[in-house]
Structure 1
Amino acid sequence: MNTFPWSAFGLSLIWAGTMALAVMLVTFAVAVRKGVHRIVDVAWGIGFTAVALTAFAVSTGHGDPVRRLLATVLTAAWGLRLAVHIARRGRGHGEDPRYEAMLAKAPGSRNAYALRMVYLLQGALVWLVSLPVQAAQYVPGRPSFLAWAGVALWAVGAGFEAVGDAQLARFKADPAHRGRIMDRGLWAWTRHPNYFGDFCVWWGLFLLVCDCPAAAAVSAVSPLVMSLLLIRGSGKRLLERHMADRPGYAEYRARTSGFFPRPPKRGTGRGRR
């Protein structure tokens, strides 16, 4: 196997970082004009898509064509689906309570604080988490069984996330379910099918570069950081803190896995949100 092209990859990192920053700055400008910062969540998926396309464009002449295309298409498919879903979910709503609470404590300008603590931070995370997608553009040699296993894991994750989001949207759209805890379908097997899906997606994309030890070493931080965000950071832990006092949530929590899917425990009743 040929040597990993560090100099070309380093230049790609600069281009990818520039693109992630550009997406977040444009989103910030739109958010300030609209007076709603929740649209940064839409930019999360768009940012990954933009980084993947940029890395693909600047890496022409390097890496294996099949691996390069897989990394780009899988990332763009995941990112664009997520962006569209979040945009639809937030249509017609005001500020996200998470951002409202954060910005209420802002010292000085709310917008300047949001730029520092939300947009620039998310731009940096997009660049960091997307390292496997960037590195995959430069890995020589045809994808091995390990890389195809990564594609399969990505498919499991994307399916979990899309199905879980669709199930929750249908549940909430029914007025008869107002106040109820969503505990059906995938939500009966894990309290966070969308977060578990993200977990599988990014570990799957990481496996795409594991044919090359150098690329794997530089990219390993990506799925680790994403896992921490999903389980200990702004994902699962923050949402469950928000839901903790809802009627019926304690019972739901007692019978349903917190992250990795498993059959629900028997013997506890269904609650109401």
Structure 2
Amino acid sequence: MPKSKSLLIVFIIYVLAFLAAGYFLQYCADPYSIWNVFWADVIATVIVFAGSLLFRNSSIYDPYWSVIPPAIALYLSQGIGGDFHRNVLVIGVVIFWGLRLTLNWARGWKGMAEQDWRYSQLSSQTGIWYWGVSFFGIHMMPTLLVFLGCIPLWNTLGSDAPLDIVDGLAAGICFVSTVIEWVADEQLKMFKSKAKKGENMERGLWSISRHPNYFGEIGLWFGLLVFSMGNPGFQWWEVAGYVAMLVLFIFISIPMMEKRMLASRPLYSDYQKRVPMLFPFLKI
């Protein structure tokens, strides 16, 4: 199947997912409540999973990670009515991040013939149970994590407090984090186009962090949390999403990636000793 046709299919699946979520919210008594938006998110995920199952490719879910936060932010801004200037700032940085990450995925994905190596590995490990694992582990778990990361948006977008320096700081963190992630991805893409077999990427941002793209991703979610921290109504449990992101990257995503790197790159163990795993200039 040509890549253009594959992307069109993914687009149609996502349109159906958002239509289903919107239909559900239309009949809710309080369509902007956290719980109702959560269930709409779950419904959309189920539709995307159905597409993954139909085309036997769990990578159809991959852009959901970067598509749903801008959708939630735009939706909330229409219904919970906070400060206009803050809303524009928040929506701007979220769309900038989401658009960049989604386009990066679309550029790198080869189409229905390709599935993320981690999913293929899970498939070989779980056999007939794979699609149950895919539903809960590849689709629903990230949906839950991303939703937790989006919870600060309710307080931020609904606040009538005037724009202040904390909002500027939060926006700066989100913007710089997105740029870091962008530059790291571009540096890696350029390296892969010229690298010899078994060679490590140790240039640019990759010389101060083994996973600068993940560092940038985590920074974006921290920035969204800072937005909420600077506004009245902030609740301590809003940090759950950011903590969940840290756990995901530090204890799941990065270990899986590094195990694969160690198996294919003889010099990677030396690289691990010299360069921090995630946070530049720190031993973590």
What band does the TM-score fall into relative to the shorter chain? 0.7 to 0.9
Is 1:103 paired with 2:123?
A: yes
Partner of 1:266: none
Residue number in structure 1 paired with 2:258 = 240
Secondary structure of the 1:142 match is coil
Match of 1:16 among 33, 37, 46: 37
Do structure 1's residue 51 and structure 2's residue 69 form an aligned pair? no
Matched, 1:191 2:197: no
How much does 1:248 deviate?
Answer: 0.9
Q: Distance in 2 between matches of 1:244 and 1:12?
A: 46
Shift of 1:85: 0.9
Which stretch of the first structure deviates more once superposed, 9-18 or 178-187?
9-18
Gaps in structure 1 of 5+ consecutive residues:
1-7, 264-273
Q: Give the match for residue 11 of structure 2.
A: none
Q: Is the 8 A contact 1:203 1:223 kept in 2?
A: yes
1:249 aligns with 2:268: yes
Correspondence for 1:84:
103
The 2-side partners of 1:67 and 1:83 are apart by 24
Contact 2:32/2:76 (CA < 8 Å) preserved in 1?
A: no
Cα offset, 1:218, TM superposition: 4.2
TM-score (structure 2 length as normaliser) = 0.80
Bigger shift: 87-96 or 140-149? 87-96
Distance in 2 (alpha carbons) for counterparts of 1:51 and 1:242: 34
Letter aligned with residue 80 of structure 1: L
SS in 2 for 1:209: helix
Calculate percent identity across the aligned residue pairs. Answer: 27
Structure 1 residues 22 and 58: CA distance shift in structure 2, 3 A: farther
CA distance in 2, matches of 1:15, 1:71: 22
C-alpha deviation, 1:227, in angstroms: 1.8
Moved more, 181-190 or 212-221: 212-221
Q: Which is further off, 163-172 or 9-18?
A: 9-18
User: How many residues matched?
Assistant: 253
Counterpart Cα distance in 1 of 2:127 and 2:271: 38
- Aligned-partner Cα distance in 2 for 1:210–1:143: 13
Separation (CA, whole Å) in 2 of partners of 1:80 and 1:229: 22
1:33 aligns with 2:54: yes
Offset at 1:127? 1.4
The aligned amino acid for 2:261 is M
Instruction: Output the CA distance in 1 between the equivalents of 2:130 and 2:255.
Output: 25
Q: Does 1:71 align with 2:90?
A: yes
Look up the match of 1:214.
233
More moved, 25-34 vs 159-168: 25-34
Could you tell which deviates more after superposition, 219-228 or 103-112? 103-112
Q: Distance in 1 between matches of 2:160 and 2:235?
A: 13
What is the deviation of 1:108?
4.4
Q: Which residue does 2:168 correspond to in 1?
A: 148
How far apart are residue 9 of structure 1 and its match? Answer: 9.1
User: 1:131-173 CA distances to partner (integer Å, 9 max, x unpaired)?
Assistant: 1123211122112212211111112211110000011111112
SS at match of 2:281: coil
Report the more deviating stretch, 63-72 or 149-158. 63-72
Number of the residue aligned with 1:226: 245
Q: Cα deviation per residue 1:206-265 (whole Å; 9 max; x = unaligned)?
A: 11111235324342222222122222232x2221122223211012112212111239xx
1:133 corresponds to 2:183? no
Alpha-carbon distance between aligned partners in 2 of 1:256 and 1:218, rounded to the nearest angstrom:
33
Taking structure 1 as the reference length, what is the TM-score of the superposition? 0.83
1:123 to 118, 127, 143: 143
For the pair 1:161 / 2:181, whether they are aligned, the reply is yes
CA offset digits 1:77-109 (Å, max 9, x no partner): 212211221222221452222112223344745
CA distance in 2, matches of 1:244, 1:109: 28
SS in 2 for 1:95: coil
Of 192-201 and 129-138, the range deviating more from structure 2: 129-138
Q: What residue is the counterpart of 2:20 in the other structure?
A: none
Contact 1:147/1:211 (CA < 8 Å) preserved in 2? yes
